[in-house]
Amino acid sequence: MVGTALVDMYSKCGQLDLACWEAIVLFDQMPERDAISWTSMIGGFVKKGCFEQALEWFREMQLAGVEPDYVTIILCLQPVQIWEHLVWACG
């Protein structure tokens, strides 16, 4: 629970670039990683515009057998929508 809160704090502060390794280390040390902890990490990557990393983490979440919740799905749709708009604009 504390690990999830710390990961969430790093990502919400937008400091994932500075605290990325700390957040990843905390995440890796968690005895159990639930949808909330995965979503916190994914949300941090989306917030920083690191869409490819966010989608990679989403894939890892699926491989770990963790069921995404609606918040995770919404977060992962954001990069897809942005990429679609870029493709359309460059068309």
Cα–Cα distances in Å, from 38 out to 26, 28, 61, 72, 85? 12, 11, 7, 8, 26
Q: Report which of 11, 89, 87, 6 is spatially closest to residue 53, judged by C-alpha positions.
A: 11
47 CB neighbour count, 10 Å cutoff: 16
> pLDDT digits over 4-63, tens only?
676 677 666 666 565 677 778 888 888 889 999 999 889 888 888 888 888 899 999 999
Contacting residues for 72 by C-beta, under 8 A, at least 6 apart: 35, 38, 39, 42, 58, 61
Q: What is the pLDDT of residue 84?
A: 64
Look at residue 62 and give its three-state secondary structure.
Answer: helix
Task: Say whether pLDDT at 85 is over 60.
Answer: no
